[in-house]
Amino acid sequence: MATVFESLKQDETSFAAGLDPTMRTAAWFLLGHGLLWILLLVRWVTFGSVGWEPFEFETVLSEFPSITPYLLYGIGAAVDLVLGGAILREIGWAKTAAIGRNVVLIALATAYWWTADEFMGAIFFAALAGMILLLLTRQTAWAINYPAAFWLIIFFVLPNLIVFVISLSERGPRGTIIYPNILEDGFLSLFDDYARFFSRIGGQLIYLRIFWKSFWLALVNTIVCLLFGYPFAYWIARKPEKWRNILIFLVMIPFWTNFLVRTYAWMLLLRDTGLINNIWTITLHEQAQMLAGSSGFFAWLASITAEPLPLLFNQGAVFMGLFYGFFPFVVLPIYSNLEQLDWSLLEAAADLGASGFQTTIRVLLPLSMPGIVAAGIIVFVPSLGSYVTPAILGGGKVALLGNLLQQQFMTARDWPFGSAIGFLMMAIMLLAIMIYFRVGGARE
């Protein structure tokens, strides 16, 4: 990396000499790649003595005749070093040849992926070749954004495309996937699985009911989190600076423990034989029983503490778990918004005769709206798809969208329907957020 930057820096002075920074970077990439081939060759030769952990593509290579890796690495190193040097020396044919080299390498990587079905090795070499190709063809804007764009395409666009294609497919015998065939089935039948979401089971719109349940749970959770989180963030933001950092640090401490572990900890606290119910049915109950004769209040207390409180495995426990899990996600964005707020605006409002209530509603809230919107979305979207909390704290009794999805992929082995539910959820959330921003934008 350092060499790249150095070469870029040098180029400002040597620009007049003719070789532009893009080309120079491409050349250095090629030289680096040449070095990489040589390193791989060294690895290969020393496998017997060093005992490297083999990469996947090295295992594949070992199945070819033993000359193959030497030829591949040797030719690769030779070509890359020669081409890199040639571009630096501005030899005419070098650029065309280098473009050809990258096209060939991408083709090779694709062929390798196709035949050996190994993704990581193929994508590594294809990605490097793609970067050099962009530099050589002077797509500078693309080259600068290449790592981010590459990441998005490989890990976001492609997986979503795969899920979308599966959602148009059909469940085959025993949970296999039958890919769609437009010519045979017609266009509308592709969306069978989407239609199924709106179908009735036993006369009831079960899937829609699960959706509404999840939707309301997520909405209420968001509102409750905001109601508690906003004053809390406000309180932190008005503290002196050194206290603020300590308090925010305290908010983040729970993240050090895995969420699943924390959820199980709640289970230990809330269950019938857990800490809270032990205090309730043993400590409190015994004390109340001793005093029961003395007053009606203690007799009543003794009678209600005889049974444990129903704290776990119900809707309330799910609510509590979601609130607990998402509370920090509300505090952090609102705090970072309030921290930058110009508090003198509030003083000005007070000076001009606004009451405390008016200041809050007409000055503070509108100013902190971006933080509230961000916090709302951060909480709403994941709580709509929450899976762990209802499964553990709800005792598997409460069916929500997340559990329905899991059920389709695991027990029912109906990947097409599961993918369709996933896409519907995504579409609905996107729509909700778009409407939210439209309405918010119109108001301003």
Partner 1 sequence: MLKKFILFTTLIAAFALAACGGGPGGPGGGPEAGAGGGDGELAAELSVYNWADYIDEELLTQYEEEHGVKIIYDTYASNEDLLAKLNAGAEGYDVIFPSDYMVSIMIDQGLLAEIDVSTMSNIGNMDPQFMNAPFDPDNKHCVPYQWGTTGIGYRAGNEYFEANEPTSWKYLFDPEYLAEFADGGVNVLNDPRELSAAAAIYLGFDANTTDPAEMDQMLEVMLAAKPFWKTFNSEDYPSTLLVPDEVVLSHGWSGGVAQAYYETYDDEAEDGNWYYSIPEEGAVKWLDNICITATSERYDTAVHFMNFLLDAENGAAITNYVYYGSPNKAAEEFILPEILEDPSIYPPADVQEKLYWLTEASDEGAQAYDELWTAVKAGN
The smaller minimum CB distance to partner 1, of residues 332 and 404, is found at 404
State the nearest-atom distance from the C-beta of 77 to partner 1, in Å.
6
The smaller minimum CB distance to partner 1, of residues 337 and 389, is found at 389
- Say if CB 171 and CB 178 are below 8 A apart: yes
Buried b / exposed e along 194-219 (16+ C-beta atoms within 10 A): beebeeeeeeeeebeebbebbbebbb
Q: In a 3-state reduction of DSSP, which class is residue 277?
A: helix
State the nearest-atom distance from the C-beta of 23 to partner 1, in Å.
17
DSSP-assigned letter for residue 201: B
The smaller minimum CB distance to partner 1, of residues 12 and 53, is found at 53
State the nearest-atom distance from the C-beta of 327 to partner 1, in Å.
25
Q: In a 3-state reduction of DSSP, which class is residue 423?
A: helix
**Sign of CA pseudo-dihedral 22, 27, 32, 37:** positive
The smaller minimum CB distance to partner 1, of residues 117 and 184, is found at 117
d(CA 395, CA 412): 20
State the nearest-atom distance from the C-beta of 9 to partner 1, in Å.
23
The smaller minimum CB distance to partner 1, of residues 59 and 181, is found at 59
State the nearest-atom distance from the C-beta of 408 to partner 1, in Å.
8
The smaller minimum CB distance to partner 1, of residues 153 and 410, is found at 410
Task: Determine the distance from the C-alpha atom of residue 132 to the mean position of all C-alpha atoms in its chain, rounded to a whole number.
Answer: 29
d(CA 10, CA 290): 88
State the nearest-atom distance from the C-beta of 395 to partner 1, in Å.
3
State the nearest-atom distance from the C-beta of 80 to partner 1, in Å.
9
State the nearest-atom distance from the C-beta of 66 to partner 1, in Å.
7
The smaller minimum CB distance to partner 1, of residues 66 and 344, is found at 66
Q: How many CA atoms lie within 13 A of 351 on its CB side?
A: 6
The smaller minimum CB distance to partner 1, of residues 298 and 409, is found at 409
State the nearest-atom distance from the C-beta of 231 to partner 1, in Å.
36
d(CA 184, CA 293): 82
- Say if CB 285 and CB 278 are below 8 A apart: no
Measured CA distances, 238 to 127, 337, 383 (Å): 49, 12, 29
The smaller minimum CB distance to partner 1, of residues 146 and 409, is found at 409
Instruction: List contacts with partner 1 (CB under 8 A).
Output: 38, 41, 44-48, 52, 54, 58-59, 61-63, 66-67, 69-70, 73-74, 77-78, 81-82, 85-86, 89, 117, 171-176, 201-202, 204, 206-207, 209-210, 213, 267, 271-273, 307, 312-313, 395-399, 403-404, 407-414
The stretches of 279-414 forming alpha helices (DSSP H) are 285-291, 296-304, 315-339, 344-351, 356-359, 365-384, 388-393, 401-409
- Say if CB 267 and CB 393 are below 8 A apart: yes
